[in-house]
Structure 1
Amino acid sequence: MGQEASNPVIELRSVTTVSGGFEILRDVSVAFTEGVTTAVLGSAGSGKSALLKTAAGLVVPDSGAVLFRGSSLASFSEDEERYFRSRTSFVFQDAALWANQTIFFNIALPLRIHKPWMGESEVAERVRTTAERLGYVEGLAFRPADLSAGEQKLISIARALVLDPELVFLDEPASGLDEDAKERVQEVLDSLRDAGKSILLVTNDMGWVHRIADRLVIVRDGRLAAAGPYDEVVASEVPETAGLVARLRARGARGMRSRGAEESAGTVVLSDPEPPETGKSAGGAAEGERGT
C-alpha cells in the first residue's frame, strides 16, 4: 500500500539499519503526517521498535535519511538538535527511569534540560499537574523502586509529556498498566490528538489502535508491509496484512474474554468480521542508551 503524506513531521527515506550483523530495517521509506496519530504494528522481532527509535533519532541508520519537517537529522547543527529534542519526547517500552533519583527528579528532568529559566515553583507545579493528569497521586519524593511497574510506566509517560511536546513517540505504552491506568493514558492521548499533536505509537493492542489511530504502519521482517489510513489498512486483502490484523484482533478478543468483559468502547473493532488468516528526545535524551 502506498504512503501519501502532505506536511510530514517525520520522514524515513530508504532507511536501512544494521544491528549485530542483521538488517533490522531494510530500505524503509515512510512519512508520518503532522498532527496525526499513527500506530506502528508488527509481530515480535518485526522491526517496529527499531523504526520508532530511528524516527526519533535514537538509532542512527546505516543508510538513508531521517527528516524532521523536511530537514535531515544527520545535518542538524547543535541548535537545531536542541530544538528537535525540545519539541519531541520518547516513552520507552521499559520505564527507563533514573533509579537513584526521585520521581520528581525524573519527571522534571526535561524541564531542567530544555527550560532552565523556569523557576522552582513553576517546575514543581508543572510536575505535579502532569503526574495528576495521568492519575499518579503518590509521593513525588519516592524512588522508582518504591513503585509498581505500572506506576513506573506512568511516570515515564509523565516525563515525556511535561514539556508539552509537539511530537510524541511511544513504544508499547500500555505494557504493565492495569485497565484503569490504560484508560487514563488513552484519555491523555485523546487530548493530545484533539490538540493537534503528532503521535507515533508502537502497540499491538487493537483496542488502542481502533480508538486513537488515524493511520497505520505495518512492519514485517524489517520492511514496510503497509501504510495508510486506518480504514484502508484494516480492510486490506493483502495476505500478510490481513493475517496480522486478524491475529492481533484475535489476541485482543481473548484478552477481553479472560477479563469477563462483554463490551468495551475501546475495543469495538474486535466485534468486526475478521479478515481470513492467509498467510534522543526531551523525555529520553539523557537515558536513551539505557532504553535501547
Structure 2
Amino acid sequence: MSAPPDAGRTAAPVIEIRGLCTRFGDVVIHRDIDLDVAAGQMLGLVGGSGSGKTTLLRAIVGLLAPSAGTVKLFGQAILDADPRRMRAVRRRFGMLFQQGALFSAFSVFDNIAFPLRELRTLDEEMIRDLVLLKLAMVELEPRHGSLMPAELSGGMVKRVALARALSLEPELLVLDEPTAGLDPDLAENFVQLIKLLQKELGFTVVMVTHDLDTLAGLATRLAVLADQKIIACGTVAEVLAVDHPFIHTFFGSGRAAAAIRQEAI
C-alpha cells in the first residue's frame, strides 16, 4: 500500500524567523537570528536586560520592521505588502502586553468586544455571547463586564487582557511578561489558567519572562538571547547543557532555578 501524500512531511512552523537583524542607528540589538516555533509549543524567551526580548516579540507580531531578515507567521510574511493578507494573519494571533494595555475609556465588556467588533461580521447579540464566554474562560463573572479598567486589581487586568487576546480564538498567543506586577499567589494562579486554556484550546505560546517560576510552570522549550543572538534553543536539558556565562548565572541558583534544572533530569 502506498503512503498518503502527506506522509513523512513536517508541518510548517507557526513562527519562522530567518536572518533577523535589528538596529537603531548604530546600536545593533539582534544579529542573524534564526528561530522556529512549532504548533502547540510553549516557548519561553529569556535574556538579560537590554538583550532585545520585547523588541523580538514586536518584530514577531509586526509592530516593528527588522533591519534585515524575514519573519513569517503560519507561512506568511507578517509584513506582507497586501493589507488583506496581513489582516488575515493578524487575526490568527493574540497578544497580552506587559501592563495589559486595556483601553482606559472602555469598560471590561467593550475591551473584550473590541476585536470582535472590528471584524464587522458579527451582530451585537453574538458579540455579547462571545464576550461572556471569554469572561468565563478567564474565571470572571458577567458582572465584571461593566467595570472600568481603573476599578480592576492587577490580577483582574491580566485576566481581562487575556480574555481580549483570546477573543478571536487565536492559534498563537504572545505574552510579554505575563506575571509582572503580580504577587506570587496571583502569578501562580495566572500561570495555571494559561496552562489550562492552552491544554483545552491547543494554541501555541511565545512568552518573554524573567520569572523562573513562570518558566517552570509554562515553558516546554526555551530560547536564550545573549550577545545579540539566540545562543541556545531547545528543551530545558539542551539549554542547560550550553556553556555560556548568562545561562550559568540565570539558571544557577534559587528555588525556581532548581525547579527548572529538575525538569532537565
Unmatched 5+ residue regions in structure 2?
1-9
Letter paired with 2:51: S
Contact kept, 8 Å, 2:251 with 2:261, in 1: the verdict is no
CA distance in 2, matches of 1:242, 1:73: 34
What is residue 197 of structure 1 aligned with on the other side? 203
Q: CA deviation at 1:146?
A: 1.8
Closer, same or farther: CA 22–71 of 1 in aligned 2, 3 Å: same
What is residue 119 of structure 1 aligned with on the other side? 123
Q: CA deviation at 1:141?
A: 1.9
Instruction: Give secondary structure in 2 for the equivalent of 1:188.
Output: helix
The equivalent position to 2:162 in structure 1, one of 157, 161, 177, is: 157
Closer, same or farther: CA 159–245 of 1 in aligned 2, 3 Å: same
Closer, same or farther: CA 126–177 of 1 in aligned 2, 3 Å: farther
What is residue 259 of structure 2 aligned with on the other side? 269
Aligned 1:8-27 pairs, distance under 5 A: 8-19=13-24, 21-27=26-32
Contact kept, 8 Å, 1:102 with 1:142, in 2: the verdict is yes
Letter paired with 1:269: A
The equivalent position to 2:133 in structure 1, one of 129, 147, 161, is: 129
Letter paired with 1:64: G
Contact kept, 8 Å, 1:107 with 1:159, in 2: the verdict is yes
Contact kept, 8 Å, 1:207 with 1:268, in 2: the verdict is no
Instruction: Give secondary structure in 1 for the equivalent of 2:109.
Output: helix
CA distance in 1, matches of 2:145, 2:197: 24
Q: CA RMSD in A?
A: 2.5
Contact kept, 8 Å, 2:16 with 2:35, in 1: the verdict is yes
Q: CA deviation at 1:81?
A: 0.8
The equivalent position to 2:33 in structure 1, one of 28, 38, 43, is: 28
CA distance in 2, matches of 1:58, 1:197: 21
Closer, same or farther: CA 273–165 of 1 in aligned 2, 3 Å: closer
Q: CA deviation at 1:106?
A: 0.8
Letter paired with 1:208: T
Contact kept, 8 Å, 2:14 with 2:38, in 1: the verdict is yes
Q: TM-score scaled to structure 2, two decimals?
A: 0.85
Closer, same or farther: CA 184–129 of 1 in aligned 2, 3 Å: farther
* Identity over aligned pairs, percent: 31
What is residue 3 of structure 2 aligned with on the other side? none
Q: CA deviation at 1:76?
A: 4.6
Q: CA deviation at 1:268?
A: 6.9
Q: CA deviation at 1:122?
A: 2.3
What is residue 7 of structure 2 aligned with on the other side? none
Q: CA deviation at 1:272?
A: 4.1
The equivalent position to 1:237 in structure 2, one of 243, 246, 255, is: 243
CA distance in 1, matches of 2:226, 2:243: 16
CA distance in 2, matches of 1:57, 1:189: 23
What is residue 139 of structure 1 aligned with on the other side? 144
CA distance in 2, matches of 1:273, 1:86: 34
Q: Which moved more, 1:46-55 or 1:186-195?
A: 186-195
CA distance in 2, matches of 1:10, 1:77: 19
CA distance in 2, matches of 1:147, 1:211: 25
CA distance in 2, matches of 1:273, 1:162: 33
Letter paired with 2:243: E
The equivalent position to 1:218 in structure 2, one of 213, 220, 224, is: 224
What is residue 277 of structure 1 aligned with on the other side? none
Contact kept, 8 Å, 1:225 with 1:241, in 2: the verdict is no
Letter paired with 1:126: L
Unmatched 5+ residue regions in structure 1?
257-266, 275-292
CA distance in 2, matches of 1:21, 1:143: 43
**Does residue 64 in structure 1 map to residue 54 in structure 2?**
no
- Relative contact order higher in (CA < 8 Å, ≥ 6 apart): 1
**Does residue 227 in structure 1 map to residue 223 in structure 2?**
no
**Does residue 176 in structure 1 map to residue 174 in structure 2?**
no
